[in-house]
Amino acid sequence: MAIGWFSVLKAVPWGQVIDNAPKVVEGAKKFWGTVAAKSSADEHEVVDVSPEADEGDALQALHQRIAVLEKSNQELHRQMLASSGLISTLADQNAQLVSRIEANRKRMLWLTVLCLLTAVSLLALLAFMLDFIFTQHAA
């Protein structure tokens, strides 16, 4: 199972992800600013106009439909604001995650180089010790 995740992570173009992370954050912030800057539907009070006594049932039904649509519009606007705030937060978290992953990738590269150098040093030391032991026994 770990091999599957490793192959998936290996296939991700991390350079492009890291390069595009600030663009994603800026796009989310622009989106949030645009949505938050628009006049909120909450500012407009929904008034359910009661029909006059001489108006028919059709006019009353139209007024009720308008009131329902206005209320629905307000709710959708609230949901849109909440969703865009969430998108902005997720974009910020994504940027932080990508920067941490990049830092871990660099650390792993250094650790790999350090381990290879240590392995080469140990092999050289082992070869020197074996040569020393064989030359002592031969003499």
Domain ranges of the chain: 2-114
What is the amino acid identity at position 37?
Answer: A
Kind and range of the H or E run holding 125: helix 57-138
Q: ∠102-105-106 over CA atoms, to 5°? A: 90
- Please give the pLDDT value at position 46: 47
- How far apart CA 125 and CA 51 sit, in angstroms, is 98
* Residue 80 CB partners (closer than 8 Å, separation 6+): 35
Against a cut of 0.85, is the pTM above it? no
Q: What is the DSSP code (8-state) at residue 48?
A: -
Assigned token pair, 40: 């909120």
Which pLDDT does position 41 carry in this prediction? 46
**Residue 92: Cβ within 10 Å count:** 14
Residues in the chain with pLDDT values less than 50? 41-42, 44-49, 51, 53
Per-residue pLDDT, 128: 94
